[in-house]
């Protein structure tokens, strides 16, 4: 199985410099476990898109908008499915239902969601890719490459 962390070009430099995919703590309730969110969706994880103040999804790669970036990670036994996270992650059943409903409205599939309850170090990263809007394909990121778990900048 292949897993990706989807992000954008406004965040990738900070992620690469830290050498970790960090736990997301945004919008979680007290008692809920933070996680690094991953997806097995090989095209694009629609819930990785940002929303504006009106709750409208802002697509990536529009003129002047952020570029879609993804980091492929080594499947890790510490990563759990969304179904398991709902039971061990401390998320309320109501919030879990709301997250699933919103994700499905965006065209996402919760069966493709995975949570890692620990930060993911760069040594477990396989590849960093950027979506080429002109060709409609993912390609190696022109600034970053990974060789044997080490990241280099060009």
Which tokens in the block code for residue 130? Answer: 């950027």
Q: Compute the distance between CA of residue 134 and CA of residue 124 in angstroms, rounded to an integer.
A: 30
Total domains in the fold of the chain: 1
Residue 72: domain span: 3-153
Which tens digits make up the pLDDT trace of 67-102? 889 999 997 768 999 999 999 999 999 999 999 998
Please tell me the predicted confidence (pLDDT) of residue 98.
92
Of the two residues 117 and 105, the one the predictor is more confident about is: 117
pTM for this prediction: 0.86
Q: Tell me the DSSP string of 79-107.
A: EEEHHHHHHHS---HHHHHHHHHHHHHTT
Q: pLDDT tens digits for 129-150?
A: 998 878 888 999 988 888 766 7
Residue 121: which residues within 8 A CB-CB, separation 6 or more? Answer: 19, 20
């Amino acid at each position: 199985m292949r897993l990706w962390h989807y992000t954008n070009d406004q965040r990738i430099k900070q992620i690469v410099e830290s050498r970790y995919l960090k736990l997301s703590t945004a919008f979680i309730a007290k008692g809920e476990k933070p996680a690094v969110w991953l997806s097995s969706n090989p095209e694009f994880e629609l819930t990785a898109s940002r929303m504006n103040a009106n709750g409208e999804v802002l697509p990536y790669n529009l003129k002047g908008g952020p570029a879609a970036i993804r980091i492929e990670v080594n499947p890790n036994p510490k990563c759990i499915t969304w179904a398991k996270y709902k039971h061990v992650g401390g998320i309320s059943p109501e919030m879990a239902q709301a997250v699933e409903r919103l994700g499905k409205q965006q065209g996402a599939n919760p069966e493709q969601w995975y949570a890692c309850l620990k930060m993911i170090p760069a040594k477990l990263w396989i590849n960093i890719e950027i979506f080429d809007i002109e060709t409609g394909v993912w390609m190696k990121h022109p600034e970053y490459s990974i060789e044997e778990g080490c990241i280099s900048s060009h």
